[in-house]
Amino acid sequence: MRLQQKDLMMPNTPEALFSQAHTGANGNTPGRAVKLSIDGVSHAFDDNLVLDNVSLDIAPGEFVCVLGASGCGKSTLFNAVSGLLPITKGSIRLDGEDIVGKPGNVGYMLQKDLLLPWLTALDNIVLGASLTRGATQDDRLRATALATHYGLGAHLNNYPTTLSGGMRQRIALMRTITAGRDLMLLDEPFGALDSQTRLSMQQWLLQVWAETGRTIMFVTHDVDEAIFLADRIVVLLPRPGRIGRILNVDLKRPRDVSCMTSSTFISLKAEALDLLYR
Partner 1 sequence: MSLIRSIFIHPVVKSMGSWSVAMLMLLGLWQAIVSVFHVPAFVIPSPVATISALFQNEVMIRGLLWQTFKETLAGYLVGAAVGVLLAVVMSQLPGLGRLLYPALVTSQAIPIVGIAAPLVIIFGFGMTPKLIIVAWIVFFPVVVNMMDGLAHIDRDQINLARLLGATRLRTFLYIRLPACLGPLFSGLKIGASYAVTGAVIGEWTASSKMGLGTYLLAANAQMNSVGVYGAMLLMTLIGIGSFAMLLLLEYIAMPWRHRATSPWRRAPHL
Q: Which of 81, 62, 31, 56 is nearest to 243 (CA)?
A: 56
The binding track of 149-188 with respect to partner 1, each residue x by CB under 8 A or -, is: -------xxxx-xx----------------x---------
Site for partner 1 in 199-228 (CB under 8 A): none
- Beta-carbon contacts of residue 8 (< 8 Å; ≥ 6 apart): none
Q: Choose, by CB under 8 A, the member of 24, 31, 96, 117 that binds partner 1.
A: 117
Q: Is 122 in the site for partner 1 (CB under 8 A)?
A: yes
The most distant pair of C-alpha atoms in the chain lies apart, rounded to whole Å, by 66
How many amino acids of this chain bind partner 1 (CB under 8 A)?
40
Rounded to 5 degrees, φ, ψ at 104 are: 105, 0
Q: Which of 91, 118, 78, 10 is nearest to 216 (CA)?
A: 78
- Total Cβ atoms within 10 A of residue 259: 16
The binding track of 13-52 with respect to partner 1, each residue x by CB under 8 A or -, is: ----------------------------------------
Task: Report the nearest approach of partner 1 to the CB of residue 160 (Å).
Answer: 8
Q: Is 131 in the site for partner 1 (CB under 8 A)?
A: yes
Q: Cα–Cα distances in Å, from 232 out to 81, 185, 248, 255, 258?
A: 18, 15, 5, 15, 19
Q: Is 104 in the site for partner 1 (CB under 8 A)?
A: yes
Whether residue 71 contacts residue 239, with contact meaning beta carbons closer than 8 Å, is answered with: yes
Q: Which residues bind partner 1 (CB under 8 A)?
A: 6, 9-10, 82-84, 103-104, 106-108, 110, 112, 114, 116-120, 122-123, 127-128, 130-132, 134, 137, 140-141, 144-145, 148, 156-159, 161-162, 179
